[in-house]
Amino acid sequence: LPRFLDLFDFFCEKVITALGGVWHPEHFNCAYCGKNVVEEFFYEHDGAPYCTECHLSLFAPKCAFCGEAIVDRCLEAMGYFWHPDHFFCQGCHTPFVDNATAHEHQSKVFCS
């Protein structure tokens, strides 16, 4: 009888089905920091789960102005990524409508 109970526990154990596999809940952790992500939103990268914080710091594009991860809308101009409200002339602070009038000088963006 004890052997039967061991098998019963094994087959009745809770599991997580995600990312093309089956996981014990205690093993469904962020691939970078090890934080358990069973009860929260997670991202997938190369088949592994990542918590929001690690995914943003490791894989999200970074704003050329502030260096922070870009979560929502993103502009790509002059070979860099920008938060939309951070793409402005760093001399006069006028927002750029497009990147046609933007010029780079010493890793900063200026209007003509």
**Domain residue spans of the chain:** 2-59, 75-111
CATH code, 2-59? 2.10.110.10
Q: How many residues does the chain have?
A: 112
pTM: 0.65
pLDDT at 3 over 70: no
Q: What is the pLDDT of residue 32?
A: 97
State the pLDDT at residue 100.
65
pLDDT at 21 over 50: yes
pLDDT tens digits, 25-71: 888 999 999 999 998 899 999 999 999 999 999 999 999 999 999 98
- DSSP 8-state assignment for residue 97: S
- What's the half-sphere exposure (Cβ side, CA atoms, 13 Å) at 19? 17
Per-residue pLDDT tens over the stretch 83-109: 989 988 888 888 887 666 777 777 788
